[in-house]
Amino acid sequence: MVKFNCVDCGTEFEPEGARVWRCPACTEKTNSQEEGQKQQKPQGYKVIRAEVGVRELKANPTEIIRMLEETPGLEIIITRYGKPSAKLVSLKETSEEIPWSERVSLRGTWANRHELTDADFAEAKRIWEPKLDV
């Protein structure tokens, strides 16, 4: 079975049904918060990550593709010998579900950067310039 990382706490769990993004503990906590008060929505895009080994991908390709089709924003990392080697991404985008007012703005992120000097460019050129092996 494919394992997911919980959106809230990051713990790894196996979902019991489709479109389950939270572990059982966080789901219970979220449901109790929603009953008492309105929950704040997270800012930015929702990305759900899951890790799948090559063996599991070979054994259950249709299940993994179905999960990608049904879950917007799902990223499945394919691991080989425990190390990430590829990524499958859902084509359904989540940007339509998040209003513009709640998205994270990148405006002004470069405003406080220091000015680059000629020495900085010379150093970058020295580092990235092709080297001739004699």
How do residues 67-124 score in pLDDT, each as one tens digit? 888 887 788 889 998 888 999 988 876 655 666 666 666 666 666 677 888 998 899 8
Q: How far apart are CA 70 and CA 21, in angstroms?
A: 12
Cα dihedral 55, 16, 36, 46 in deg (nearest 10): 30
Give the residue from 22, 23, 85, 21 showing the smallest Cα distance to 53: 85
pLDDT-derived band at 42 (thresholds 50, 70, 90) equals very low
Average pLDDT for 54-66: 90
